[in-house]
Structure 1
Amino acid sequence: MKIERLSQDKIRIFLTFDDLSERGIHKDDMWREIPKVHELFSEMMDQAYTELGFDASGPLAVEVFALPAQGMVVIVTRGKMNAHAHDGGHTLEEDDADDEIYEMEVTLEQSDIVMYSFRDFEDVIAVSKQLQSSNLTEDGKLYSYNGKWILALEPALIDSSKHNAVIALLAEYGEATSVTYAMLEEYGKVIMSESAIGQICLHFKF
Structure 2
Amino acid sequence: MKIERLGQDKIRIFLTFDDLSERGIQKEDMWQEIPKVHDLFTEMMDQAYSEVGFDASGPLAVEVFALPAQGMVVIVTRGKYENHQFGSLHEDEMPEEIYEMEVTLELSDAIVYAFSDFEALIEAAHVLQPTITDAGRLFNYKGKWILHLEPEDLDEGKHPALIAVLAEYGEATSVTPAVLEEYGKLVMAENAVRVICEHFKRQS
> Equivalent residue for 2:61?
61
- Give, in angstroms, the shift of residue 96 of structure 1: 5.3
Classify the secondary structure of the residue corresponding to 1:90: helix
CA distance in structure 2 between the aligned counterparts of 1:51 and 1:172, rounded to whole angstroms? 27
Relative to 1, partners in 2 of residues 1:78 and 1:203: Cα closer, same or farther, differing over 3 Å?
Answer: same
Structure 1: 4+ residue segments shifted above 2 A: 89-98, 134-138
Moved more, 157-166 or 139-148: 157-166
Q: Is the 8 A contact 1:9 1:77 kept in 2?
A: yes
Task: Describe the shift of the 1:122–1:96 C-alpha distance in structure 2 as closer, same or farther (beyond 3 A).
Answer: closer
Letter in 2 for 1:36: K
Task: Give the equivalent residue in structure 2 for 1:33.
Answer: 33
Report the TM-score, using the length of structure 2 for normalisation: 0.91
Structure 1 match to 2:17:
17
3-state SS of paired residue (2:49)? helix
Residue in 2 that maps onto 1:151 = 147
Counterpart of 2:112 in structure 1 is 115
Aligned-pair RMSD on alpha carbons? 1.8
Structure 2 unmatched runs, 5+:
none
Structure-2 separation of matches of 1:14 and 1:135 = 28
1:45 match: 45
Aligned residues: 199
Check whether the contact 1:58–1:91 (CA below 8 A) recurs between aligned residues: no
Partner of 2:93: 95
Q: Which amino acid is the alignment partner of residue 69 of structure 1? A: A
Give 1:121-132 correspondences, 5 Å limit: 121-132=118-129
* CA distance in structure 2 between the aligned counterparts of 1:72 and 1:160, rounded to whole angstroms: 20
- Name 1:171's counterpart in structure 2: 167
Q: In the alignment, is the contact (CA less than 8 A) between 1:10 and 1:77 conserved in 2?
A: yes
Deviation of the 1:95 alpha carbon: 2.6
Deviations 1:58-79 (A, max 9, x none): 1111111111111111111111
What displacement does 1:54 show?
Answer: 1.1
Asked if the contact 1:136/1:162 (under 8 Å) is kept, the reply is no
Q: Distance in 2 between matches of 1:118 and 1:17?
A: 20
